[in-house]
């Protein structure tokens, strides 16, 4: 933990009337980090992020962004790019006009052509927003995060509705921003993306932060899996395994290297073919399922 985190959330509570949506949430995001705030539906991520982004007041607790209150928009806005789930650009503006508007609202400087190129909308520069496809609109939303290369970027479900090429292009652009030192806060329901991209992950459920850490810290408590199929007349493998369907076996392991070696040695010694053999690390999905099955409060 550094002395000067970019985001410092301490005992944050957000309530709607009697309903407590976020309870005693504390976490920090360090400079240059990609922090993914993930959670089950209704976990409180949006409520917490709205406070951090300066759009909502906390019921109690302290939030600091660049050491300041998130409501200090004049200081924070030029340093922060926010890609919301829906940016709400007016349908009767062209793509170029919308991107210029981002520049005026953010107070950051950039070149229109550069931004259009990064979000791959150069060929749509003169098209009305109302005439863009869903994926193109999403790429225009991404321009809010890219414009002027802000120090802090919020990406709220950034790749929803994007095809695989657009996703790759978006993550390449995020990577370039990170190489320039930008800090990124991500929310997504695509756990694979968080698993691949995030330095640290916070997992929320029922208004509270249930776990936080690197992917390997979060997945450590759950086993990895080895999977294969055996010919019908083959002997039973030497270690504990559960056949999942017919001849397909799954071995859960906390010591992948040793168990894989034992299995391969056995297969070689008995001339058994391990069909479709795969060894997979614990996935974030598994951690997520375990948390999602906990009581909400």
Ligand X SMILES: Nc1ncnc2c1ncn2[C@@H]1O[C@H](COP(=O)(O)OP(=O)(O)OP(=O)(O)O)[C@@H](O)[C@H]1O
Residue 20 in contact with ligand X, rule: CB under 6 A: no
Cα Rg, the chain, nearest whole Å: 23
Residue 16 in contact with ligand X, rule: CB under 6 A: yes
Stretch that binds ligand X, among 2-10, 23-31, 38-46, 88-96 (CB under 6 A): 38-46
104: which residues sit within 8 A by CB, 6+ positions away?
none
Comparison of 57 and 261: residue with beta carbon closer to ligand X: 57
User: In the complex, what is the shortest distance from the CB of residue 12 to ligand X, in angstroms, rounded to a whole number?
Assistant: 12
Residue 13 in contact with ligand X, rule: CB under 6 A: no
**Residue 125, burial from CB neighbour count under 10 angstroms (0-12, 13-18, 19+):** middle
Find the binder of ligand X among 1, 18, 19, 293 (CB under 6 A): 19
Comparison of 216 and 293: residue with beta carbon closer to ligand X: 293
Stretch that binds ligand X, among 42-50, 75-83, 86-94, 280-288 (CB under 6 A): 42-50
Residue 46 in contact with ligand X, rule: CB under 6 A: yes
Residue 42 in contact with ligand X, rule: CB under 6 A: yes
Identify the CA nearest to 114 among candidates 103, 128, 130: 103
User: In the complex, what is the shortest distance from the CB of residue 156 to ligand X, in angstroms, rounded to a whole number?
Assistant: 9
Residue 39 in contact with ligand X, rule: CB under 6 A: yes
271 vs 251: CA distance, rounded Å: 20
Residue 61 in contact with ligand X, rule: CB under 6 A: no
Residue 21 in contact with ligand X, rule: CB under 6 A: yes
Residue 88 in contact with ligand X, rule: CB under 6 A: no
Stretch that binds ligand X, among 39-47, 108-116, 167-175, 284-292 (CB under 6 A): 39-47
Find the binder of ligand X among 7, 9, 43, 201 (CB under 6 A): 43
User: In the complex, what is the shortest distance from the CB of residue 207 to ligand X, in angstroms, rounded to a whole number?
Assistant: 7
Residue 205 in contact with ligand X, rule: CB under 6 A: no
State the number of binding residues for ligand X (CB under 6 A). 11
Find the binder of ligand X among 45, 139, 167, 200 (CB under 6 A): 45
User: In the complex, what is the shortest distance from the CB of residue 73 to ligand X, in angstroms, rounded to a whole number?
Assistant: 21
Contact footprint for ligand X (CB under 6 A): 16, 19, 21, 39, 41-47
């Amino acid at each position: 933990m550094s002395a000067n985190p970019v985001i410092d959330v301490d005992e944050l509570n957000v309530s709607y009337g009697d309903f407590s949506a976020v309870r005693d949430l504390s976490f920090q995001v360090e400079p240059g980090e990609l922090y993914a705030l993930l959670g089950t539906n209704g976990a409180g991520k949006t409520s917490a992020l709205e406070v951090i982004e300066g759009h909502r007041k906390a019921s109690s607790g302290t939030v600091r962004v660049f050491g300041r209150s998130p409501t200090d928009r004049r200081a924070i806005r030029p340093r922060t790019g926010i890609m919301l789930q829906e940016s709400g650009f007016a349908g009767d503006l062209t793509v170029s006009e919308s991107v210029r508007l981002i520049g005026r609202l953010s107070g950051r400087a950039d070149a229109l052509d550069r931004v259009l190129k990064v979000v791959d909308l150069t060929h749509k520069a003169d098209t009305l927003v109302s005439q863009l496809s869903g994926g193109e609109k999403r790429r225009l939303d991404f321009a809010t995060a890219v414009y002027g290369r802000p120090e802090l970027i919020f990406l709220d479900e950034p790749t929803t509705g994007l095809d695989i090429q657009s996703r790759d292009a978006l993550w390449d652009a995020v990577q370039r921003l990170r190489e320039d030192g930008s800090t990124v806060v991500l929310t997504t329901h695509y756990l694979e993306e968080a698993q691949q991209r995030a330095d640290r992950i916070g997992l929320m459920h029922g208004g509270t932060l249930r776990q936080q850490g690197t992917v390997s810290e979060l997945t450590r408590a759950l086993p990895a899996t080895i999977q294969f199929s055996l010919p019908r007349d083959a002997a039973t493998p030497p270690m504990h395994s559960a056949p999942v369907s017919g001849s397909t076996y799954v071995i859960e392991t906390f010591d992948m290297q040793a168990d894989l070696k034992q299995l391969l040695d056995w297969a070689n010694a008995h001339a058994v073919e391990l069909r479709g053999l795969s060894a997979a690390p614990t996935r974030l999905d598994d951690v997520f399922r375990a948390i999602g099955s906990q009581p909400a409060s």
